[in-house]
Amino acid sequence: MSPPPTKLLLCLPSLLEHSKLKTIHLIAKRCAKIRLIMAKLSRDDILKLALLARLDLTDEEIEEFTVELSEVLQYVELLQSVDTDGLKPTNQVSGLTNVTREDEEIDYGYDPHDLLKNLPAVEGDLIKVKRMIN
């Protein structure tokens, strides 16, 4: 079978109508099946990601994210159909490279006590954290 048609994306704004959205989801899912990467996330995938991202999630969130994130990933997978032979990646669009400044001390006038004001826990002028090992 051929890769997902670009036509699929050309009608994407119509997803704003819910009935059409469902149809597109079906098409997207069908297309996803024929591709190398199948972005169907399992509960374990979500738990692993949550661990990597240091996020404590509720059971409800885990369930929701399993469905929602799979949908989003299936959508972005449409990029696999784009021919990008010979092209290099773009990291940034400022056109600037190697922005440097003189290696000298600059006084920005920040008061360290203003910075400490926002700390959840301090001891003197130090950041206080919970114990690291059990």
Query: CA 79 to CA 45: how far, in whole Å?
Result: 22
Considering only residues 3, 5, 14, 26, which one is a binding residue for other proteins as defined by CB under 8 A?
Answer: 14
Cβ nearer to other proteins, comparing 88 with 123 = 88
Instruction: Determine if 44 is a binding residue for other proteins (CB under 8 A).
Output: no
The answer to whether the CB of 25 falls within 8 A of the CB of 8 is no
65: which residues sit within 8 A by CB, 6+ positions away?
Answer: 41, 46, 57
Instruction: Determine if 107 is a binding residue for other proteins (CB under 8 A).
Output: no
Please choose, from the candidates 8, 52, 44, the residue with its C-alpha nearest in 3D space to the C-alpha of residue 29. Answer: 8
| Binding positions for other proteins, rule: CB under 8 A | 6, 9-16, 18, 21, 37, 41, 45-46, 49-50, 52-57, 61, 64-65, 68-69, 71-73, 75-80, 82, 84, 87-96, 99, 101, 106, 108, 110-111, 114-115, 117-121, 127, 129-134
